[in-house]
A and B are shown apart, each in its own frame.
Chain A
Amino acid sequence: MIAEIGQYVLIIALVLAAIQSVVPLWGAARDEARLMVVGDRSAIAQAVALLIAFAALTHGFITSDFSLTVVFQNSHSLKPMLYKVSGVWGNHEGSMLLWVLVLALFSATVAIFGQNLPPTLKARVLAIQAMIGFAFLAFIIFTSNPFARLSPVPLDGTGLNPLLQDPGLAFHPPLLYLGYVGFSMAFSFAIAALVEGRVDAAWGRWVRPWTLAAWAFLTGGIALGSWWAYYELGWGGWWFWDPVENASFMPWLFGTALLHSSAVVEKRDTLKSWTILLAILTFSMSLLGTFLVRSGVLTSVHTFATDPERGVFILAILAIAIGGALILFALRAPGMKGGGLFAPVSREGALVANNMLLTLAAVTVLLGTLYPLILEALSGGQSRVSVGPPFFNATFSPIMVPLVLLVALGPFLAWKRGNLRMAFGKLVPAAIGAFLAIIITYLMVPGGPALAPLAMGLAAWLGIGAISEWSGRIRLFRSHPRDALRRIHELPRSASGMTMAHLGLAVMIVGITGSSAWRAELVTTLVPGQTAEGPGYAVTLESVIEGRGANYIFERGTLLITDGGRPVAKLNTERRFFPVANQTTTEAGIRTTIFGDLYGVIGERGRTPETADAWTVKFFVNPLVPWIWLGAMLMAVGGFLSLSDRRHRVGAPRRAATALTKRVPDSAE
């Protein structure tokens, strides 16, 4: 019954989306408020309808209603409650429902809180949002219905991939979708602006908070996914340049560029058509990411061809959305001339360079991800190549180095015309810090790759550069500490947010460098009680015990790590076997300190009679690896801090406007 309600409201949402994509647009064209307001109401109604649909599906999972195909395929009565709930979006149908739900919630937010938007712009934004929503709702209803019933009703479900039974992964998709779908707002604003033929600083101010929020969520989502891969997949890697990872990384790269160029639109009213193009590209990458992950095209072009229904549907959405947006852009953008002139050496100039490098990086990742697919499709399966981590490492890093050098410099340059000599003058501490970092790293770790000390220098340059810009603005060393404190309070939060995000990037570079340059490992077989000499540490397999968990049985190995006889850490690592799914997972034992992780896993028991008492033991020293996620966290928090800036608060532009009109008569007296 409840599932039928879900089905019913899902269709209502589709109808509402159809109405919402036409009526407000028509109203905006004829400037009729009565028609435009339809957009607001249907946006809110659509969000409510989808909330009900989502609740209905969640109910199905919580009560283990195996008459629903999705629940049967992805859940099991023995599963812990948390993972029953996260199972709602841990599958294709449910995740698409979450996708449109997030979309509808964003639209409803615009409808409710966007009273200060010009009515025609608001109506058009909501109409574009509804078109996206309509396409995806149609996709769900016609190809991926989450409320499809099964008959006869099975006794129990076929479980959920035990790999997904993990808090890190359970909350990774919602965050990722908040990011992906959040960029739809930038997209809708861009298309609406193209239709209106008008982009000004106010437009930039409206787009920016959405972009910031989407970017911060996406940063968090990617970081959480990478952290999960690190501790769950069991070999201590954290980024594999896997197409699924790249699918979320491409919108992030374009979104980062958009974040910076929208600042230029807001502050200087220039770079408009470029920003619009970036908004289109960013959301296109979100759609492409959804397509890559959801269509099965990644496994092989062949699997895509054998079950093409869903893939072709998303491909059509992709073609219409991206193609349509780009055609509209080509028609309208040339008419949007204008914008202040700026010197090549200026804040704008630095931001343009940032945009160019980020775009280049994004295109490189896009190319590497799609190239094998395109080549295989074009040659009819004759010509196949692999594009793996060695390609991405070789092409991506050279683009990042100049970018990072620039990130420290940019904030020191003035808008319009910057003074390079003065900026470099202020970067002297950063340069000294970078030099010291290179020397110290070189002396402390003589064995590692030659580039590692340089990378540490780069991180120091960026980190110290970011901090010294911030401390210069609050006059930390040039005034009384109390004054500095007051200035921190007065400094716009967006400025502090930027510093924090840049600092986060520096911290992340330290982590990436440390974990990839100085990683050390020990791979051996140990009988309980036996000790092996590892890199810098001795590893003893203390014991292996067996036991039973919520819906799995486990072997738990305890590794004692000693440094010159002194115990440093005890690592508990588990191999879990899930009978329902007939799968085994590895839980790594990790000891985290600020200097890095000690990471241990046990493998299989020996297969031959002589080795039957011994277990495979793998032990890794991953230096500085926590800095990666610390850096990502700083970036995301910096994004939210910037979002909380006064001028982004809802209604702020209107309040500022009324304040101005009030002040005018006063000043006349």
Chain B
Amino acid sequence: MRQTTIFLLAATLTCLIDITVSVAVEPDEVLDDPMIENRAREISSELRCVVCQNQSIDDSDADIARSMRLLVRERLLAGDSDDQVIGYIVARYGDFILLRPPFQANTLALWLTPPIMAIVIAAVALLYCRTYQRRRIKDTRPHRLSLADRRELEALVNRFAAVNLAPSPHNSLSNEIKEGLNPRDPDANTGEGKPNGDGTPRPA
């Protein structure tokens, strides 16, 4: 156990140092046929360097990554299809080698959570649209202030009246307050400080 840990640490460390050395694919690995070389690169970027932290064999300079790159090219030259090459590598190293985890029992939650979440979000959004429509129809009539709000407003009016030395009927402020008491726009009243405490609109 302890030895495994030390091995893993050492392997990771070499890998970290190797990252810094240079880019991965060496000139002597590059195949003459650009088509096959491109396929090899595509496959390499899907395969994990087993001793590294989150690096593909295409990016890693570790020796094992190099031998895996050579293996991929060897299989491609032997006439394998892309899937066959990946299958060959997975058979040797296991699913851990795949940077795109396969869709199977232990990755169901990984692959399905985002789409399920998207569907749930879409459903909630649809539900909101429908309740909004319904509430709009119900809310088209203006509603009155609750008793508590009315009292608070009256207190405010009185306070302002005390400040105003010469109250006039054309005072814009008192007009505004009156407008506030009898709103014309139904939506304008649904903000904070709901018209009434229990949340249900009352008929005018």
Residues of A within 8 A of B (CB): 162-163, 200-201, 233-237, 240-243, 268-270, 298-300, 302-303, 306, 337-341, 343-344, 352-353, 356, 360, 363-364, 367-368, 371, 375, 379, 383-391, 394-395, 399, 416-417, 523-525, 575, 583-586, 601-604, 616, 618, 664-665, 667-669
Contact = CB atoms under 8 A, between A and B. Distances in A.
A581 B171 CA distance: 80
Given A585-B20, A603-B23, A668-B168, 5 more contacts: A299-B53, A302-B4, A338-B192, A616-B26, A618-B23
A399 B117 CA distance: 12
B166 A668 contact: yes
B172 A525 contact: no
Contact of B107 (A302, A338, A385): A385
A341 B5 contact: no
B56 A667 contact: no
A524 B27 contact: yes
A233 B19 contact: yes
B101 to A, nearest CB: 4
A344 B194 contact: no
A200 B135 CA distance: 24
Contact of B192 (A240, A269, A586): A269
A269 B191 contact: yes
B160 A664 contact: yes
B192 A200 contact: yes
A375 B110 CA distance: 10
Q: Which 10 A-B pairs have the closest CB atoms?
A: A388-B99, A390-B100, A603-B22, A668-B164, A235-B23, A385-B101, A340-B191, A525-B27, A344-B129, A384-B96
Contacts of A340: 187, 190-192
B59 interface: yes
A243 B192 CA distance: 42
B110 A616 contact: no
A162 B118 CA distance: 44
Nearest to A532: B27
Contacts of A383: 106
A364 B114 contact: yes
A583 B20 contact: yes
B113 A669 contact: no
A601 B114 CA distance: 39
B146 interface: no
Interface string B26-46: 111010000000000000011
A356 B121 contact: yes
Interface of B: 4-5, 8-9, 12, 17, 19-28, 30, 45-46, 48, 53-56, 59, 94-101, 106-107, 109-110, 113-114, 117-118, 121, 125, 128-129, 132, 135, 139, 160, 163-168, 171-173, 187, 190-194, 199
Contact of B5 (A306, A343, A363, A367): A306
Given A360-B118, A371-B109, A667-B172, A240 B54 contact: yes
Contact of A389 (B99, B106, B135, B167): B99
Nearest to A376: B96
Contacts of A388: 46, 48, 54, 56, 99-100
Contacts of A352: 125
Residue of B48, B101, B135 contacting most chain A CB atoms (<10 Å):
B101
A517 to B, nearest CB: 14
A234 B21 CA distance: 8
Contacts, number: 180
B172 to A, nearest CB: 6
11 contacts: A243-B54, A303-B9, A306-B5, A338-B194, A344-B125, A385-B95, A523-B25, A601-B23, A616-B26, A668-B166, A668-B167
Nearest to A340: B191
A668 B199 contact: no
A363 B125 contact: no
A574 to B, nearest CB: 12
Nearest to B160: A664
B182 to A, nearest CB: 19
Nearest to B18: A584
- Pick from B20, B46, B113, B165 the residue with the most CB of A within 10 Å: B20
Of B26, B94, B125, B166, which is in contact with the most chain A CB atoms at under 10 Å from its CB? B26
A341 B8 contact: no
A252 to B, nearest CB: 18
B101 A386 contact: yes
A133 to B, nearest CB: 31
Contacts of A368: 110
Contact of B135 (A201, A341, A601): A341
B132 A341 contact: yes
Contacts of B164: 665, 668
A306 B129 CA distance: 53
